[in-house]
A and B are shown apart, each in its own frame.
Chain A
Amino acid sequence: MFKDRFDRLLWLLLAVAITALLILLGTHSPGGGNDHSATGLNKALEREMAYQARVALLQKLYAPVENLCKSGDLQGALFRLDELARTYPGEAHSHILKGEILHQLGAREEAIASYVQGIKLSGDYIDKKSPLSRHDDIRRLVDEGLKEIGGRAKANPGNASLAAAMKNVYYLQSRLAGGCE
């Protein structure tokens, strides 16, 4: 690879290119000059800001529902949620809040189904660290579901609605268990 003048020229240019690259990397100061990595390309920061904005928007949008729940008007909260769900049909938060309210009303199977719909739309609610996390509530619901719905499903093996409810419980249990998604 050092046979002739052309080889030597290639080696020389290669050394120049590598040296220039090293100088560029060595003298680079993040954020300085025309550095897109510190502005437009810092996707992590952009994403965090968008996520925080989303959380804030959800809290604002669903504040009337939360207030109705706090005042004990669960039926009114469900009615308001239905309105919001029509306006934002792909939003997981409606399903999660509906699940919470249905759980409080004692409609466990319907609550579980609503949580499943919400978590299929957004896994944030199952994460322990997320500000939207409902991990502990879901864990409680799954434990109750396994005991209560599981008991009834065993006693009535041909009951299709109980089998569907158990499928939802197992889905939530699997998501709580973690693993790759």
Chain B
Amino acid sequence: MNLRDRHFWIILATGALLGTLGVLLAVWGNPENSGICVSCFIENSAGALGFHDNPRMQYLRPELIGFVLGAAVSAIAAREFRSRGGSAPLPRLVSGIFLMVGCAVFIGCPIKLFLRLTAGDLTAAAGVIGLVAGVWAGLRGLSNGVELGTHQREQGGSGLLVPAFFALLLLFLIFRPGFVLSSDKGSAAQYAPRAISLGVGLLLGAVAQRSRFCITGSVRDAMLMGLRSYMPWGFLAFCGAAVMFNIGTGRFHPGMFGQPGSHPDHIWSFLGMGLVGWISVIIGGCPFRQLIKAGEGDADAGLVVLGMFIGGALVQSWGIAATAAGVSFYGKVAVLAGFTFLLATSLLCRERIA
């Protein structure tokens, strides 16, 4: 670790900001332990666009728009915006759908997993073990030749399409056309002031683009290189800041029962996050990182993001998403279907040494 390396401090700052603002957004109005949750935000936004009809999960989350547009502005300013893609587009799209399945069965993305844990929700521990196991399985796959293929620089500016889509969502957020839905009850009716949410999203999008910070990437780097890699330090800063602010704002309630947005089906929490960890390694980043990469012009990540929107709609429409009562039958089927897809993809996309 080189303390004089600017990149180290950028990663550390990103982690600390993510932890701090993740807690503060819940203080400012977002649902409990869910100040930042990419999967919840996508489910809410998919509902706002009319992709599902759960009236309690419809709200165009400004943070989500901020993540992508902040990353795009940052990439353009640093001359890092490049349209690239062409690596296994459909498997990536389907991966995005199953990322959402894993998150919905656990109730939260990897960022929320640690926000829940740092608020004292001990049921999240099963998810942590699952995420680590999933990342480990993904790394085993990579080391045995499983790869979706490398992307290439693309003509035609396909990398602009996802940022353009989010710019359109920004217009929807500002002008609020009649077809954009907004819940007046349930968790989607809980939100921080729009300007604050958007500002936080833009800031986090920009710093995450500069730092390349990623939750599953941190776990992966910790396994491969230990603390020699900078990413786990950013992750520690994220957890440290979240614990500190959760305690400071009176939101630290350690326990297994009665936790917000949690359920007692620990095996399915483990499997859900296992699916997310494994897919994230194969496609090169957690749901948050996919948004940032899509903002940088990565059309492959853009397809994952579109898959996540489809997944966000399906988990609500098909009753896949878990509730405080536990994981539904369809949720369990969907997780096992996800592992089936993952294993089949690993078999089909494996480069074997003759």
A: residues with CB less than 8 A from B are: 30, 37-38, 41-44, 47-48, 116, 120, 123-124, 127, 129-130, 167, 170-171, 173-181
Is residue B181 contacting chain A, with contact meaning CB distance below 8 A?
yes
Tell me, rounded to whole Å, the shortest Cβ–Cβ distance linking A125 to chain B: 10
- Chain A residues in 8 Å Cβ range of B351: none
Which 5 interchain pairs have the tightest Cβ spacing?
Answer: A179-B261, A179-B260, A173-B258, A177-B260, A37-B178
Chain B binding surface, main DSSP class: loop
**Mask for B143-184, Cβ within 8 A of A = 1, else 0?**
000000000000000000000000000000000011101101
Complex Cα distance, B32 from A178, in Å, reads 6
Q: Determine whether B229 belongs to the interface, using a CB cutoff of 8 Å to chain A.
A: no
List the B side residues contacting A38 at CB < 8 Å: 178
Flag whether B280 is at the interface (Cβ < 8 A): no
Can you offer 22 A-B residue contacts whose CB atoms are under 8 A?
A30-B178, A37-B179, A43-B181, A44-B182, A47-B181, A48-B184, A127-B186, A170-B257, A170-B258, A173-B257, A173-B258, A174-B258, A174-B260, A177-B32, A178-B31, A178-B32, A179-B31, A179-B34, A180-B37, A181-B56, A181-B187, A181-B324
Q: B186 contacts A181, CB within 8 Å? A: yes
Distance (whole angstroms) from the CB of A50 to the closest CB of chain B: 10
CA distance A154 to B263 in the complex (A): 21
Beyond A43-B179, A43-B181, A129-B185, 12 additional pairs, beta carbon < 8 A: A30-B178, A43-B178, A116-B325, A123-B186, A174-B257, A174-B259, A175-B324, A179-B32, A180-B34, A180-B43, A180-B108, A181-B323
Bound: A115/B33 CA distance, A:
25
Residues 255-272 of chain B, each 1 if its beta carbon lies under 8 Å from chain A, else 0: 001111111100000000
Judge if B199 is at the interface, Cβ distance under 8 Å. no
1/0 per residue, CB under 8 A from A, across B53-69: the answer is 00111000000000000
Chain A residue numbers with a CB within 8 Å of B32 are: 177-179
B261 contact from A41, A129, A130, A178, Cβ within 8 A: A178
Q: How far, in whole Å, are A126 and B260 apart by their CA atoms in the complex?
A: 13
